[in-house]
């Protein structure tokens, strides 16, 4: 635990209200055989220091693409960031060259992925893989980096870290691999950790433990977390702020409690209502009719309108896409019918 607490937090680099990362109008397109997939369109949200923002949405809505765009890990042959700004520590990441970006990856911004077992290199020991990041960013020698790696394993709750560091990923369980990934990510003390569905591939008990671990690390280091998930339970428990994503766009952002108490966008409302709840007896579970649109065949106007009870028959919803507007302090919605939306035009 000492290792993590022993960091030199540079708290100067954020703007007045403690915003660490500010994404504005981010758009990313992917090139496929069937056409251009607009996976991320006009996406905007902010993450504050030390807070956790949950990016919620169904599979295929563009959450992972957004995360990869922030890290600028979109392979050039597959896709391209076509617009927007990603302001991190007062710099627009999209203006940086590759070398500068590499200095940030794994160092100031780190990322962990969904499938921990395949995300680790099977032919190197876990100790080697953690030490690699340390050697790269902190310029430490082999022995020192190895010692640090072992310490990191201990810090993420792996027993007998000396022995484990010499093991290979296939010798470990899924939960342990995810801990290793976390150790690797946090080893250089990043200020932002992007966690792309970190617990989806794990069983329920392990899920809780991993999330607890993330929470603990966050408390100790003050790092922010961008938590990408489709699990509303996780959002309710762990997130400070929430951004809801649908069909490549952000449809709503708000503080977590506010959002659960009073969802503003019909999609969010539909999601909440479809959750089974204690006390619901004998009534059919409500669902959102229809299905998520395919990226190559997005509907015109508001992307949610075909499934929306209000927007389905509304001409405006069918033809004009509502932009994301701040309807009150700390809450943004993209819906013509949202309370307070018209006034803020």
To another protein, the closest distance from the beta carbon of 330 in angstroms equals 31
**CB-wise, 124 or 280, nearer to another protein?**
124
Q: Is 64 or 221 the residue whose CB approaches another protein more closely?
A: 64
What is the SS3 assignment for 18-72? CEEEEEEEEEEEEEECCEEEEEEEEEEEEEECCCEEEEECCCCCCHHHHHHHHHC
Q: Candidates 2, 8, 16, 123: give the one binding another protein (CB under 8 A).
A: 123
Contact 227, 55 (CB under 8 A): yes
- Residue range at the interface with another protein (CB under 8 A); choices 112-120, 251-259, 273-281, 321-329: 112-120
Partner residues linked to 225 by β-bridges? 52, 193
Chain residues 268-327 in contact with another protein, contact rule CB under 8 A: 289-290, 306, 312
The number of angstroms, rounded, from the C-alpha of 21 to the middle of its chain's C-alpha atoms is 12
Q: How many chain residues touch another protein (CB under 8 A)?
A: 35
**Binding to another protein in span 153-212, by CB under 8 A:** 168, 170-171, 181, 184
Given the rule CB under 8 A, which of 3-11, 42-50, 108-116, 243-251 is the region that contacts another protein?
108-116
Yes or no: say if 220 and 5 are a contact pair by the CB < 8 Å rule.
yes
Provide, rounded to whole angstroms, the least separation between the CB of residue 284 and another protein. 13
91-92 and 35-48 as β-strands: parallel, antiparallel, unpaired? unpaired
Task: State which residue, 7 or 114, has the beta carbon closest to another protein.
Answer: 114
Of 57-96, which residues contact another protein (CB under 8 A)? 71, 73, 76-78
Q: Which is nearer to another protein, 168 or 260 (CB)?
A: 168
Position 103 contacts another protein (CB under 8 A)? yes
Question: How many CB atoms sit inside 10 A of residue 141's CB?
Answer: 9
The answer for residues whose C-beta is within 8 angstroms of residue 327's C-beta and 6 or more apart is 264, 333, 338, 339, 340, 341, 344
Q: Are 246 and 307 in contact (CB under 8 A)?
A: no
* Residue ranges binding another protein (CB under 8 A): 71, 73, 76-78, 102-107, 110-111, 113, 115, 118-124, 132-133, 136-137, 168, 170-171, 181, 184, 289-290, 306, 312
């Amino acid at each position: 635990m000492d290792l993590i607490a022993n960091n030199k937090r540079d708290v100067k680099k954020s703007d007045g209200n403690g915003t660490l990362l500010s994404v504005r109008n981010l758009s990313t397109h992917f090139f496929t055989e069937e056409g251009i997939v607009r996976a991320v369109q006009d996406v905007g949200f902010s993450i504050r220091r030390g807070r956790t923002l949950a990016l919620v949405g169904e599979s295929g809505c563009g959450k992972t693409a957004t995360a990869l765009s922030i890290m600028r890990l979109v392979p050039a042959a597959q896709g391209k960031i076509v617009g927007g700004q990603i302001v991190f520590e007062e710099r627009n990441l999209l203006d940086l060259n590759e070398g500068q970006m590499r200095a940030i990856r794994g160092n100031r911004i780190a990322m962990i992925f969904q499938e921990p077992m395949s995300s680790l290199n099977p032919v190197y020991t876990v100790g080697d893989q953690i030490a690699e990041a340390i050697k790269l960013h902190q310029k430490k020698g082999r022995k020192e980096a190895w010692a640090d790696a072992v310490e990191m394993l201990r810090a993420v709750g792996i027993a007998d870290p000396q022995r484990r560091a010499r093991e290979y990923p296939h010798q470990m369980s899924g939960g342990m691999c995810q801990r290793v990934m976390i150790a690797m990510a946090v080893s250089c003390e990043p200020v932002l950790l992007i966690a792309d569905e970190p617990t989806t591939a794990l069983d329920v008990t392990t899920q809780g433990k991993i999330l607890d671990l993330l929470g603990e690390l966050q408390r100790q280091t003050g790092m922010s977390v961008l938590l990408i998930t489709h699990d509303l339970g996780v959002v309710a428990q762990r997130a400070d702020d929430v951004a809801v994503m649908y069909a490549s766009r952000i449809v709503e952002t708000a503080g977590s409690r506010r959002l659960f108490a009073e969802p503003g966008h019909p999609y969010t409302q539909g999601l909440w209502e479809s959750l089974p709840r204690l006390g619901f007896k004998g009534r059919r579970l409500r669902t959102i009719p229809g299905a998520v649109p395919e990226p190559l065949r997005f509907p015109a106007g508001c992307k949610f309108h075909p499934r929306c009870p209000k927007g389905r028959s509304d001409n405006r919803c069918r033809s004009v896409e509502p932009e994301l507007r701040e309807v009150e302090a700390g809450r943004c919605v993209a819906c013509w019918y949202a309370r307070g939306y018209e006034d803020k035009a």
